[in-house]
Amino acid sequence: MGNCIVPYCDGPKNTNVRWTLPAVCFVWQTAMVILFGAFVRYNKEVDAHWPETKIHENITSDIENDFYFRYPSFQDVHVMIFVGFGFLMTFMKRYSFGAVGFNFLIAAFGIQWALLMQGWFHHIDSTDGMIKIGVENLINADFCVASCLIAFGAVLGKVSPVQLMVMTLFEVTLFAVEEYIILNLIHANDAGGSMVIHAFGAYFGLAVSWVLYRPNLKESSQLNGSVYHSDVFAMIACHKSHKYLYVSIFNSAICKHGDGQHRAAINTYLSLAATVLTTFAISSLFQKHGKLDMVHIQNSTLAGGVAVGTAAEFMLMPYGSLIVGFFCGLISTLGYIYLTPFMERKLKIQDTCGIHNLHGMPGVIGGIVGAISAAGATESVYGQQGLINTFVFKDDFKHRTPAVQGGYQAAAMCIAVSFGIGGGILVGLILRMPLWGDPTDDNCFDDEVYWEVPEEEDSADPVLQYNNHTVVNKHAEV
Amino acid sequence: MGNCIVPYCDGPKNTNVRWTLPAVCFVWQTAMVILFGAFVRYNKEVDAHWPETKIHENITSDIENDFYFRYPSFQDVHVMIFVGFGFLMTFMKRYSFGAVGFNFLIAAFGIQWALLMQGWFHHIDSTDGMIKIGVENLINADFCVASCLIAFGAVLGKVSPVQLMVMTLFEVTLFAVEEYIILNLIHANDAGGSMVIHAFGAYFGLAVSWVLYRPNLKESSQLNGSVYHSDVFAMIACHKSHKYLYVSIFNSAICKHGDGQHRAAINTYLSLAATVLTTFAISSLFQKHGKLDMVHIQNSTLAGGVAVGTAAEFMLMPYGSLIVGFFCGLISTLGYIYLTPFMERKLKIQDTCGIHNLHGMPGVIGGIVGAISAAGATESVYGQQGLINTFVFKDDFKHRTPAVQGGYQAAAMCIAVSFGIGGGILVGLILRMPLWGDPTDDNCFDDEVYWEVPEEEDSADPVLQYNNHTVVNKHAEV
Amino acid sequence: MGNCIVPYCDGPKNTNVRWTLPAVCFVWQTAMVILFGAFVRYNKEVDAHWPETKIHENITSDIENDFYFRYPSFQDVHVMIFVGFGFLMTFMKRYSFGAVGFNFLIAAFGIQWALLMQGWFHHIDSTDGMIKIGVENLINADFCVASCLIAFGAVLGKVSPVQLMVMTLFEVTLFAVEEYIILNLIHANDAGGSMVIHAFGAYFGLAVSWVLYRPNLKESSQLNGSVYHSDVFAMIACHKSHKYLYVSIFNSAICKHGDGQHRAAINTYLSLAATVLTTFAISSLFQKHGKLDMVHIQNSTLAGGVAVGTAAEFMLMPYGSLIVGFFCGLISTLGYIYLTPFMERKLKIQDTCGIHNLHGMPGVIGGIVGAISAAGATESVYGQQGLINTFVFKDDFKHRTPAVQGGYQAAAMCIAVSFGIGGGILVGLILRMPLWGDPTDDNCFDDEVYWEVPEEEDSADPVLQYNNHTVVNKHAEV
């Protein structure tokens, strides 16, 4: 007990972010205000001139405003980003505040920076050089932040909030570049972001975690476990994540209106369903006594949604989606059981939340599925117009064939992964600088380092104290 | 204390599902893949040929795609099915994993099987004999699974995951038949599924529970209770369920676009409001010291939503909805206080979650309200066109009068209940076979039987000690 | 020990609501049924005559029904009202039931009464003198109830359910009057309700709390604190609230379709993001050891959403929204650290949830921002038509200039605050009458007074022993 208390006491000494965190927050937020003032304006569907615009473009009904195609499930995506992701990480018994709170911080800074970075790449208005934003930009910014939160999962509990801010700054920048290359230059299709978001984010996080390897992490390992109710919290997040994966895909800004979104919804729905069954099977089969492990159910059941992302709006066919989900549940769960421990022992990669199983591998699978299904696309299946719509064989790309598209999809996948690994190593080295106030090995996974934890206000046995106010008397008696 | 520890130790012996569960999951999922490959395709609004179709049917805007009428609240329904229902059952102190996890399993398998069963009954494309699915099918599948999850509430904690899979297989099949008879043959109106979903599901579950009666359940009864925070979890679910009931109704695939959905939203809203007040009143009036019981608030407050389901899109009038809610809160709460204990003692029906009060009785009330309000419908209230739209007096049914419709509504209700009871007894007998690895009476309501429960891994940490039964041994030692 | 246990025993004596609560619930609900029967009908978009109406008003598509502009995020608002608000108040270790349960009660009664009150002011149909309701009315009723729940936050844990019912009755009435004056007579613009909902609700609650000042509240102060997992619950609510604030604004019934809603969405999104960073900065800067306080993160991060409410659909510009959020996070967090303790010590205002920091000040700031940005509106920024649309310079108000509008906005803010304070004092005096069964100072913040708390029923079980305060004594006795 004592030696588990000690870190709480001297922990704060070497992890005081009293000056650095506020400084970073204030300075960067001020910078955002200035940059937004200089570069960001409303686009024409947001601007109050819309009534004139409307007449001008003879749009009959307000419901034609892009807003109404997107916002219904947009807030789901948005709120998932803001808090939901954090809950998936609340499974640790003493790190719920950090998981949820820092998620919040990353998201808040990330979306602002993403609006700028993505704006510079995609939404510069040639007439006045301004970034013109609308609801579509907000969605893209949320997706960009999603990749940051995925990476957060790998380093959860081992870094300081300041390090997270720095990591977000660089990751968002890299994301914008990677996204631009994959979607615009290579013209790959990635509606659900299996490659752009999940694979990139996961390998970025793993690379950072590898550079920041902590040999003595075992010392705080008694905190790196779950308690009964914390697992139920995480299950709530799983719930949210399902919704998130679900809506994020057909809500994707690059998903085609109409049949494209409709197809994406169905493919995701089926893939998620299939994943659940195989996850249960593997979890039960490979555990002692054939008991199920809640961690697998919380996480692997989402893998199917990740893996169907790239091909979500393709003619994957219902059975195709089921097959994708089937294998994802299988691979992801086996990853938790065998790969994660192996990576920690042999490869020195400490993956707190097992993002490699939930985002890394499924993301890569998604990329492969996308490449294959694109290469195999035929006019008989898609229809002439359908083929053009789905793969946007227009303008510079109007002579591209499905076969060639397949090749580019594969290339895109490699780019996403290498950007992730390369960028992660780079950022990891920056984060190793001693000035960020990161915790020592023996007070990782502990909220007490950066948070006022209610228990502290009273003495000794935490839980008793707070589910039980008479303990005070018990102590009095002693 | 000892005999409360023993089951934890030898429990797993007689409840090992290491081989059966994975086998069932793998085989059935593979079967799904094959069946989907053989029978399921996208419908024309999902197919990539949509652009051609659109021109052909001169649809002007993508927003006319059925998808946009349905998806906004669809994910709410879908996610509620996938995880939400489970949370309503997390009130038990040691069965949160089972409640949420098995919910997940039932939903994942159930929707796939439902897509097939319902497809064969409703969506066969005459041209190629294929089942053509769209978002409407997904919604119907979710509703079908809802009835399985309602039944799950009656047997919660007393069955093995394998038994749940078997139960789902049969219940979905029965549901599809019952739904076909009620909606297509009898042509009854049941937008919110009071009869088709709630009454059927509840009586099915009660019948199963009756066949699987466990005389010595008392032995594990110390686990069949709630703890403070588990009740708060359940309250979160109550929150979700409200939303679910709310959206499910006007989201119903058989609910008419426009005024029908609009009316359904208002009726449900008002009915739920009225229920809450009467629930509080009864709960306070019949408890010792006039204290409120959280179980009533969690559950009975939902009864009003269930009961207004059938008549949701009828001209129930605002005050009509309030009256329905008023009596439902009353009956449902009294059910929890008097009927449930009576059923367990006298009728040998062990209803873990009290689904009879939340779904059974309100469902029947809903059916009756529907029958009466249909029989009383007049052209002056609905308008000539309105009457036809609301009750779909078209094609074979164009000569049907409201009075006759009322009769058919009543008939539909009886069919739903008898299907529930009959099917439940049948399935119950199948589940009594000794090969499903169900728990013994003295380790019911305990996650340790089928789940790796975190506490066991670590007893050094204070947080764990007090949620952990190993502490009990400590006391024994003392 | 004794003096902390005693209240639990004799507490119920002087706080027995066994007769009063059921009486109030039954009588008032019956009154609602009668009043709705006499005064409330469906409006034309809800009525079954809609098909005729549609043709008559040559509306082409069902999607033109107002329902489809509003319902997608409406349920979010609605469910937030019903349960979500309560979760924001579950941070207290022994008052989760009260927070969530009474929230439920207030909402259920409040919306019914609000539909009537607001109906009489805004929606009387001149032809038959009936209140004609549609989804827009439900949304307005929800917003009205929101102000009641804000006020609830100030008196949380210190009043009986009966007092809450009485408080709701009066507050809803006052709200309807205040809303009518501000929106119709003064014709001020308050899309997000910063003034009408948040400022009014907050100052109303503070005034009530001031009149009901409890000098000896310290005695139960050991209950007025949080536990680790209760804080995580509150974080879930924070999640919901974000969504709520988010959607409530552009979902606002008085928010213009098209660009207005689109703009509101973007402004809120940005303001919330900026708030988070400054909240983290201040929280860390002013706490001992520079540790973060979860209470600030839970609450202050929402302030930005409140403050941008009034000006949400104005041309605030992206950087403008960021600036608003920036200062709100700052002021709100400082409020928690310095103002709340000061108000309790010096001004005798006991603000349980710190609503002054989350709703009061941000609401006022919102009003000021609204006034300034309205006064500064120019035709060059809004466009001629845009200016008219945004500020509804039509009919009686068509000659009003932006400058004048700014003045009226400021006036509206003063009216909201004074209505809040005045009404609060009045209602507070009514609530001081001895007949409402309110708790004594030493059993405030304790669910045991009005709820059956599970622990009491069973002390044999290990889990309970450690959540249960009575057990400890047992051990002591042994």
Which A-chain residues 269-308 have CB contacts (< 8 A) with chain C? none
Q: Do B290 and C46 touch (CB under 8 A)?
A: no
Q: How far apart are CA A289 and CA B282, in angstroms?
A: 46
Q: How far is A110 from chain B (nearest CA, A)?
A: 26
C-alpha dihedral (B471, B474, B476, B477), degrees to nearest 10? 170
Q: Of B67, B104, B457, which has the smallest distance from its Cβ to A262's Cβ?
A: B67
**Which bin fits A392, alpha (ψ -120 to 50), beta or left (φ > 0)?**
left
What length does chain A have? 478
Chain B residues touching A282 at Cβ < 8 A: 22
Residues forming a β-bridge with B41: B132
Q: Of A227, A243, A250, which has the smallest distance from its Cβ to B463's Cβ?
A: A227
Taking CA atoms, what residue in C is nearest to B71?
A: C72
Interface membership of B70 toward C (CB under 8 Å): no
What ipTM score was computed for the predicted complex, to two decimals?
A: 0.83
**Mean pLDDT computed over B208-212:** 91
Does pTM surpass 0.90? Answer: no
**Which bin fits C340, alpha (ψ -120 to 50), beta or left (φ > 0)?**
alpha
Task: Say if residues A175 and A144 touch (Cβ distance below 8 Å).
Answer: yes
Q: Report the share of chain B in percent with pLDDT over 70.
A: 76
Interface membership of A130 toward B (CB under 8 Å): no
* Closest to C166 in 3D by CA, of C452, C444, C433: C433
Interface membership of C50 toward B (CB under 8 Å): yes
Q: How far apart are CA A442 and CA A439, in angstroms?
A: 8
CA torsion sign, B353 to B356 to B357 to B359? positive
pLDDT of B352 reads 82
Q: How far apart are CA B271 and CA B306, in angstroms?
A: 9
**Range of weakest confidence among A252-261, A347-356, B242-251:** B242-251
Interface membership of B314 toward A (CB under 8 Å): no
Q: Where are the alpha helices (DSSP H) in A259-317?
A: 259-286, 294-307
Counting runs of H as helices and runs of E as strands, what totals does chain A give? 21, 2
Assess whether pLDDT exceeds 80 at residue A198: yes
List Cβ neighbours of B29 (8 Å cut-off, separation of 6 or more): A274, A277, A278, A281, A322, A326, B109
3-state class (DSSP) for residue A132: strand
Q: Do B276 and C107 touch (CB under 8 A)?
A: yes
Chain A residues touching B96 at Cβ < 8 A: 228-229, 231-232, 235
pLDDT of A314 reads 87
Q: Do B18 and A301 touch (CB under 8 A)?
A: no
Q: Do A452 and C227 touch (CB under 8 A)?
A: no
Q: How far is B107 from chain A (nearest CA, A)?
A: 8
**Range of weakest confidence among A220-224, B30-34, B471-475:** B471-475
* Closest to C146 in 3D by CA, of C76, C67, C78, C73: C78
Interface membership of B111 toward A (CB under 8 Å): yes
Probe site for chain C from A70, A96, A104, A232 (most C CB atoms < 10 A): A104
Q: How far apart are CA A98 and CA A88, in angstroms?
A: 12
pLDDT of B429 reads 92
pLDDT category, A221, cuts 50, 70, 90? low
Chain B residues touching C37 at Cβ < 8 A: 317, 319
Highest mean pLDDT among A162-166, A222-226, B393-397, C450-454: A162-166
Q: Do B467 and C463 touch (CB under 8 A)?
A: yes
3-state class (DSSP) for residue B92: strand
Q: How far apart are CA B478 and CA C160, in angstroms?
A: 44
* Cβ-based contacts under 8 A for chains B and C: 259
| H helix or E strand, kind and range, residue B132 | strand B131-133
* Cβ-based contacts under 8 A for chains A and C: 273
Interface membership of A322 toward B (CB under 8 Å): yes
Burial of C430 (0-12, 13-18, 19+ CB in 10 A): middle
Across chain B, mean pLDDT equals 79
Q: Do A464 and B467 touch (CB under 8 A)?
A: no
Q: Report the share of chain B in percent with pLDDT over 90.
A: 27
Mean pLDDT per 10-residue section of chain C, whose length is 478 residues: 37 63 90 92 81 70 63 66 68 76 89 93 85 86 89 87 92 94 90 90 94 76 62 62 58 63 84 90 82 82 85 88 92 90 85 87 93 89 82 82 91 94 94 80 77 55 36 33
What is the Cα gyration radius of chain B?
Answer: 23
Task: Say if residues A187 and A169 touch (Cβ distance below 8 Å).
Answer: no
Q: How far is B239 from chain C (nearest CA, A)?
A: 6
Interface membership of A235 toward C (CB under 8 Å): no
In single-letter form, the type of residue at position B71 comes to Y
Q: How far apart are CA B430 and CA B428, in angstroms?
A: 5
What is the Cα gyration radius of chain A?
Answer: 23
Higher pLDDT, A245 or A410: A410
Token pair listed for A335 = 């990853």
Chain A residues touching B454 at Cβ < 8 A: 225-228, 231, 294
Q: Among all chains, which residue has been given the structure tokens 């996938």?
A: B82
Residues forming a β-bridge with B292: C451
Q: How far apart are CA C291 and CA B362, in angstroms?
A: 51
Q: Which 8-state DSSP code applies to residue B253?
A: T
pLDDT of C31 reads 93
CA atoms within 13 A on the CB side of A458: 24
Q: How far apart are CA B398 and CA A432, in angstroms?
A: 77
Q: What is the DSSP string of C128-193?
A: T--EEE-HHHHHHHHHHHHHHHHHHHHHTTSS-HHHHHHHHHHHHHHHHHHHIIIIIIS----TT-
Interface membership of C229 toward A (CB under 8 Å): yes
Residues forming a β-bridge with A93: none
Token pair listed for A159 = 């870094």
Chain C residues touching B292 at Cβ < 8 A: 97, 101, 161, 450-452
Touching subunits for chain A (3+ Cβ pairs under 8 A): B, C
Cβ burial A203-241 (10 Å sphere, 16+ → b, else e): bbbbbbbbbbebeebebbebbbbbbbbbbbbbbbbbbbb
Q: Among all chains, which residue has been given the structure tokens 């839980």?
A: A463
Q: How far apart are CA B291 and CA B43, in angstroms?
A: 55
Interface membership of B387 toward C (CB under 8 Å): yes
Higher pLDDT, A208 or B348: A208
Q: How far is B289 from chain A (nearest CA, A)?
A: 23
Residue C211, number of CB atoms within 10 A of its CB = 18
Interface membership of A8 toward C (CB under 8 Å): no
Q: How far apart are CA C303 and CA C334, in angstroms?
A: 12
Q: Do C243 and A75 touch (CB under 8 A)?
A: yes
Q: Do B51 and A291 touch (CB under 8 A)?
A: no
Residue C426, number of CB atoms within 10 A of its CB = 16
Q: Do A315 and B47 touch (CB under 8 A)?
A: yes
Q: Report the share of chain A in percent with pLDDT over 70.
A: 76
Q: Do A68 and B67 touch (CB under 8 A)?
A: no
Measure Cα distances from C196 to A129, C225, C287 in Å.
Answer: 39, 31, 33
The interaxial angle of helices B259-286 and C135-155, nearest 10 deg, is 30
In single-letter form, the type of residue at position C301 comes to T
Token pair listed for C328 = 């709100």
Cβ burial B50-87 (10 Å sphere, 16+ → b, else e): bbebbeeeeeebbbbbbbbbbbbbbbbbbbbbbbbbbb
pLDDT of A361 reads 92
Question: In degrees rounded to 5, what are phi and psi of residue B187?
Answer: 55, 40
Q: How far is B130 from chain C (nearest CA, A)?
A: 30
Mind listing the pLDDT tens digit for each residue in A25-83? 999 999 999 999 999 998 887 787 777 777 777 666 666 666 666 665 666 677 667 66
pLDDT of B468 reads 33
pLDDT of A463 reads 39
Q: Do A73 and B72 touch (CB under 8 A)?
A: yes
Assess whether pLDDT exceeds 70 at residue A265: yes
Mind listing the pLDDT tens digit for each residue in B157-188? 888 888 999 999 999 999 999 999 998 899 89
Q: Do C48 and B266 touch (CB under 8 A)?
A: no
Which C-chain residues 447-466 have CB contacts (< 8 A) with chain B? 450-455, 457-458, 460-466
Chain C residues touching A33 at Cβ < 8 A: 274, 319, 322-323, 326
